[in-house]
C-alpha cells in the first residue's frame, strides 16, 4: 500500500474470521508454553499520537515472546476506530502483512467488561480499563480469551487474544 492511498478501516463488532472456541488463558506465574499457535491471534494496540510504527512492532514481538509464542503469526492488529487511521498503526499492520481491525466504541465497551488490567487514564478517557485488551478481545469475538494481558512501552500498549483451535504445523 502506498503512502498516498487512503485506508478506511471497517468497524467490527465480531470475531476474526476463521476463529473457533478459544484456548485457555495462558498468563501468570504458572504459565506453560503453548504447543502451537492459536488459529486467530489478535494483537490489541493502544498508543499515544507520537508513537512510531517500530515501537508498536517491537511491542507485538515482545508480547509474543512473553506469551511463549515467539514464532506465532498475528492474524490482525486491532485498535479503537478513532485511532485506526493513524499512520503508525497502519504502517505496523502493513509491515506485519495483516489487516487492521477498527473497533467501534460499543464493541470496546462490551469487551471492556472482560479486561483484566486497569488504567486510570484510559478508564477516564474511554470508560474501559485497557484499550489494548478490549480491542484484542473484541476482535477475537465473544468467546475470545486473553493469551497475554496488556504490556506497555513508552508510547504503546499491546495485549494478545485468541480464539480458535491450534493450527497444526
What's the whole-number mean pLDDT along residues 13-33?
37
- Residue 100 has a pLDDT of 97
Q: Is the dihedral of CA 4, 156, 105, 18 positive or negative?
A: positive
Residue 99 has pLDDT above 70, yes or no: yes
Per-residue pLDDT for 125 more than 80? no
Domains of the chain: 37-164 (3.30.420.180)
Residue pair 39/19 in contact by the 8 Å Cβ criterion: yes
As a whole number of angstroms, the distance between CA 41 and CA 140 comes to 8
Residue 23 clears pLDDT 80, i.e. is over it: no
Report which of residues 44 and 18 the model is more confident about: 44
Amino acid at each position: 500500500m502506498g503512502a498516498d492511498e487512503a485506508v478506511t478501516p471497517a468497524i467490527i463488532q465480531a470475531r476474526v474470521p476463521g476463529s473457533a472456541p478459544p484456548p485457555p488463558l495462558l498468563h501468570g506465574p504458572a504459565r506453560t508454553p503453548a504447543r502451537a499457535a492459536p488459529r486467530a491471534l489478535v494483537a490489541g494496540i493502544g498508543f499515544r499520537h507520537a508513537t512510531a510504527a517500530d515501537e508498536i512492532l517491537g511491542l507485538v514481538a515482545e508480547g509474543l515472546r512473553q506469551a511463549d509464542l515467539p514464532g506465532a503469526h498475528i492474524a490482525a492488529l486491532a485498535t479503537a476506530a478513532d485511532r485506526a487511521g493513524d499512520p503508525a498503526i497502519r504502517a505496523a499492520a502493513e509491515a506485519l502483512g495483516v489487516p487492521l481491525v477498527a473497533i467501534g466504541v460499543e464493541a470496546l465497551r462490551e469487551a471492556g467488561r472482560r479486561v483484566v488490567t486497569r488504567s486510570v487514564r484510559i478508564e477516564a478517557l474511554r470508560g474501559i480499563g485497557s484499550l489494548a485488551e478490549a480491542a484484542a478481545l473484541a476482535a477475537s469475538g465473544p468467546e475470545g480469551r486473553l493469551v497475554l494481558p496488556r504490556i506497555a512501552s513508552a508510547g504503546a500498549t499491546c495485549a494478545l487474544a485468541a480464539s480458535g483451535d491450534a493450527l497444526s504445523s
